[in-house]
Structures are given as structure tokens and as C-alpha cells.
């Protein structure tokens, strides 16, 4: 037992009574043992102290001091090389026996690259390919190593009429072809060149821009036509062109027979940021047109475009409704509608001639839009209509896209249908 530590009995005595001694202020109590040195800790059994574990055979006196290089002088803070970044350790895949198989995350898909916009003339050629192929194929069959004579001209004239170019245009083309060429061979390329030139002559007087008289705001465009000719789609595309040009447009959902037509026009209104005036299905179309005109005046629109229900030209009650729309508009503006556009489906062929005749008499049609040229082998009907009625052809369409309705150009159309190239 270490000196200065009281015996166990005394410690027990202190544990039980020391607090009382302190609290009673006993100044004679001896606490000097608290300052005594603690005894060394006992070593664990079977283990000698460190000093005793030195190998006696190891003579430290003969052992040279280890050659320890001094630490390098610390470089200035700015000259210290950056510490190397440890390489990422690849993540080990779990053992297949553990029931797992890691599949690395697929790389993000690249942003889709928008397809380049196809030039209008190319789209027109592609749209008129069926009409052109049929016509030029027949020309090639007729003028293959064959001298020009009356029989050849008659065969060629029949081909032109079958292509819906019309009798008047067919006669002009054959007359032009016969000038100074009788008795000699003529190539298919020469025939196609003459064909393109004569078609351009027939179409050039009607290839006009649609003029808007903004001195009489709003300029009212009434769009009419039989079922399925693309009236509502044409209206949406016209609105897109006008709003791109900085004009304000109001649309009237005058096809009150079809809910789909109303919804379609509302979608076009959202796309072009144009107000759409609409009512419930079955509402009076003439009354709606009247309200739409007033609304266009209120919101200071430049153009009001009115859709109408598709109607067959032989349905007298529907044609009478169209006349009513015109009369009601003229109560608000004597010159309204300023433009009456008739949409024609190229696939209807000769029936389109009858439509122009009747709608011109009933609604005062003063302009044409030819649609669906891309789905027809009868695009030549436009030439016959132009030759007979002399009505302006403002736009032609070769697809459903917003850019597939373009101003009509006689040279481009003639070259596309005749299979020739155009010159600037």
C-alpha cells in the first residue's frame, strides 16, 4: 500500500463521515494524503515493461544512428504545387451471384435537329407529281420518233383534254405546236417547253395578290365552298400569314353545323392570337356574322374572316342561307364582304367548274383558292377554270402544314405540271 493513503477502514470512515467533518468546519482533519504520488500501474500479466523487452543480444552501442534526411524547407505559399487529385476508383459491380446486375445510365438523347424547310417550288413539284407524271408520260409515248402530223396533233389534244386543261387551252397549245413543225420529228422536251409556256400564258392574268382595303376596316373575307374542300384549314393559314405581317385578325366560326369546325377554328385562333367569335351548334350563321363584324370593329381588327358551312351547290336552302349572310353583312357595311373566296378541291376535277359557276352567281365569288393539289392527278383543272372564268387565283395548297399554302405563281405552276425547269 502506498504511503500516505489511509487504511481501508479509515477510507470507509471518510466515505461515511468526511462530509460531516467538512460541514462541521473540523480544521484538524488531515488531507495531506491527497498530495501523495500515485503508485505505478501494475503491468498486465505475462508482459514485461518496455525497458525489459529489449533484446539483450542487440547492442545499441554499435548501431549507427539512422540516416534521417531533414525535412525539406517549406516553399512559399504561392510556389507550392497543388496536391494531386486522386483518380476516381471504379465502382465494383456486385457479384452476379448476389442477384444484381448493374446497367449504366444511358447517355442523354441529343436534341433533335429540325429538318430543313423544303423550298416552295420543290413542294409544288412534289404535289403536282401525279398530274405531271401522267401528262408527261403520255407526251413521251406520242412523240417518240414520230413526225408531227394531224393524227399526232389529235392524239396530243386528247391527252391535254384528259388532263383537265380544258378545250380552249388544248387548242391553243396544239395550234402553237403546229406552227412551222409539220413533217418533222419533234422531241418530248420541245413539246413540254411549249406546254409550259402556253399554260403560263393562260394563268398569268389570274395570278394576282389578294388586295386588302384597310381604308375600310375591317376588310371582310367570306370563305365559301362545298364540303371537304378545306375551308377552315385555309382560314387558319390565311390568319397565320396576316398576323405574321402585323395585321390584327378576327375569326368568325360561321360553320354552325359542325362542332369540329368550331373547335378547329378556335385552335387556329390560339395559334395566331386571333379572337374567335362563336356560338352554340345550330345558331343562325347570318346573325353570328353580324355580331362578328361588330366585334371586329370594337377590337380594331384589320381583317375579319368568316367561315361558312360546307354546302353542295345543288342544295337550294343552304345556298339561300349564304345569300342571307351576304345581305346581313351589307347592312353593316355596303361593300361587305369585300372578298369572297371559293375553296376548290383539285381532286374534284371537272366538278370544280360547276362549283365556280354557281357560287359566283349566289355569293359573288371574286377569288379562288385551290387546295389538295398534292393528292390529285387532275391539277390541270385550274388551267381550265382560269381560262373560262378569269377569276383571280390567290393561293394554292399542297399539304396540311401551315406553310403549305402559298401565293399562286403562274410560272412555277406551269413548270411543275409540264415537268420543265424555271428560269429566273
Distance CA 131, CA 352 (A): 16
Number of CB atoms found within 10 A of residue 243's CB: 17
228 is in an annotated binding site: yes
309 is in an annotated binding site: yes
The residue count for the chain: 424
Distance CA 229, CA 307 (A): 12
Q: Beta partners for 275?
A: 250
Take residue 172 and report the three cell numbers written for it. Answer: 391553243
What 8-state DSSP symbol labels residue 409? -
Distance CA 134, CA 141 (A): 11
Alpha-carbon distances, residue 200 vs 192, 346, 417 (angstroms): 12, 18, 10
Distance CA 169, CA 192 (A): 14
233 is in an annotated binding site: no
372 is in an annotated binding site: yes
Helix (H) or strand (E) holding 276: strand 275-277
307 is in an annotated binding site: yes
133 is in an annotated binding site: no
Take residue 330 and report the three cell numbers written for it. Answer: 351589307
Take residue 404 and report the three cell numbers written for it. Answer: 403549305
348 is in an annotated binding site: no
User: For the purposes of burial, counting CB atoms within 10 Å of the CB of 396, is it exposed (0-12), middle (13-18) or buried (19 or more)?
Assistant: buried
216 is in an annotated binding site: no
227 is in an annotated binding site: yes
The answer to whether residues 220 and 301 touch, using CB atoms and an 8 Å cutoff, is no
420 is in an annotated binding site: no
Q: Where are the alpha helices (DSSP H) in 204-348?
A: 231-244, 259-272, 285-298, 316-332
The answer to whether residues 206 and 407 touch, using CB atoms and an 8 Å cutoff, is no
Distance CA 275, CA 242 (A): 13
What 8-state DSSP symbol labels residue 149? -
204 is in an annotated binding site: no
256 is in an annotated binding site: no
375 is in an annotated binding site: no
Q: Which residues of 184-218 are buried (b: 16+ CB within 10 A; e: fewer)?
A: eebebeebbbbbbbbbbbbbeebbeebebeeeebb
373 is in an annotated binding site: yes
231 is in an annotated binding site: yes
Take residue 102 and report the three cell numbers written for it. Answer: 448493374
In a 3-state reduction of DSSP, which class is residue 377?
A: coil
Distance CA 239, CA 246 (A): 11
Binding residues, as ranges, are: 225-232, 307-311, 371-374
Binding residues for GTP, as ranges, are: 225-232, 307-311, 371-374
Amino acid at each position: 500500500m502506498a504511503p500516505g493513503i489511509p487504511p481501508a477502514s479509515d477510507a470507509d470512515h471518510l466515505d461515511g463521515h468526511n462530509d460531516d467533518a467538512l460541514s462541521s468546519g473540523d480544521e484538524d482533519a488531515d488531507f495531506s494524503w491527497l498530495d501523495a504520488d500515485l503508485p505505478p500501474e501494475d503491468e498486465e500479466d505475462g508482459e514485461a515493461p518496455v525497458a525489459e523487452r529489449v533484446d539483450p543480444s542487440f547492442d545499441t552501442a554499435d548501431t549507427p544512428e539512422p540516416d534521417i534526411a531533414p525535412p525539406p524547407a517549406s516553399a512559399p505559399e504561392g510556389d507550392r504545387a497543388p496536391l494531386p487529385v486522386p483518380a476516381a476508383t471504379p465502382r465494383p459491380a456486385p457479384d452476379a451471384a448476389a442477384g444484381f446486375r448493374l446497367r449504366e445510365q444511358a447517355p442523354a438523347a441529343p436534341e433533335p435537329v429540325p429538318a430543313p424547310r423544303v423550298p416552295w417550288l420543290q413542294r409544288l413539284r412534289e404535289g403536282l407529281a401525279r398530274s405531271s407524271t401522267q401528262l408527261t408520260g403520255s407526251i413521251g409515248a406520242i412523240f417518240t420518233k414520230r413526225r408531227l402530223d394531224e393524227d399526232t396533233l389529235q392524239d396530243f389534244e386528247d391527252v391535254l383534254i384528259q388532263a383537265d386543261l380544258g378545250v380552249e387551252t388544248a387548242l391553243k397549245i396544239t395550234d402553237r405546236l403546229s406552227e412551222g413543225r409539220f413533217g418533222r420529228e419533234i422531241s418530248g422536251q420541245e413539246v413540254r417547253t411549249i406546254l409550259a409556256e402556253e399554260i403560263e400564258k393562260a394563268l398569268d392574268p389570274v395570278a394576282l395578290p389578294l388586295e386588302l382595303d384597310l381604308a375600310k376596316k375591317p376588310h371582310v373575307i367570306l370563305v365559301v365552298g362545298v364540303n371537304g374542300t378545306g375551308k377552315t384549314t385555309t382560314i387558319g393559314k390565311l390568319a397565320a400569314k396576316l398576323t405574321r405581317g402585323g395585321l390584327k385578325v378576327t375569326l368568325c366560326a360561321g360553320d354552325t353545323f359542325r362542332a369540329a369546325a368550331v373547335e378547329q377554328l378556335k385552335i387556329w385562333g390560339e395559334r395566331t392570337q386571333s379572337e374567335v367569335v362563336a356560338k352554340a351548334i345550330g345558331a343562325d350563321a347570318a346573325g353570328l356574322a353580324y355580331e362578328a363584324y361588330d366585334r371586329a370593329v370594337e377590337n380594331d381588327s384589320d381583317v375579319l374572316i368568316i367561315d361558312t358551312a360546307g354546302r353542295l351547290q345543288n342544295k337550294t336552302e343552304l345556298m339561300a342561307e349564304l345569300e342571307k349572310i351576304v345581305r346581313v353583312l351589307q347592312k353593316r357595311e355596303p361593300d361587305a364582304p369585300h372578298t369572297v373566296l371559293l375553296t376548290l378541291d383539285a381532286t374534284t376535277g371537272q366538278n370544280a367548274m360547276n362549283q365556280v359557276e354557281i357560287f359566283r352567281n349566289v355569293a359573288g365569288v371574286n377569288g379562288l383558292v385551290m387546295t389538295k393539289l398534292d393528292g390529285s392527278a387532275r391539277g390541270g383543272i385550274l388551267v381550265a377554270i382560269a381560262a373560262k372564268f378569269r377569276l383571280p387565283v390567290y393561293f394554292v395548297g399542297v399539304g396540311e402544314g401551315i406553310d403549305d399554302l402559298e401565293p399562286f405563281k403562274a410560272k412555277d405552276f406551269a413548270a411543275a405540271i409540264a415537268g420543265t425547269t424555271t428560269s429566273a
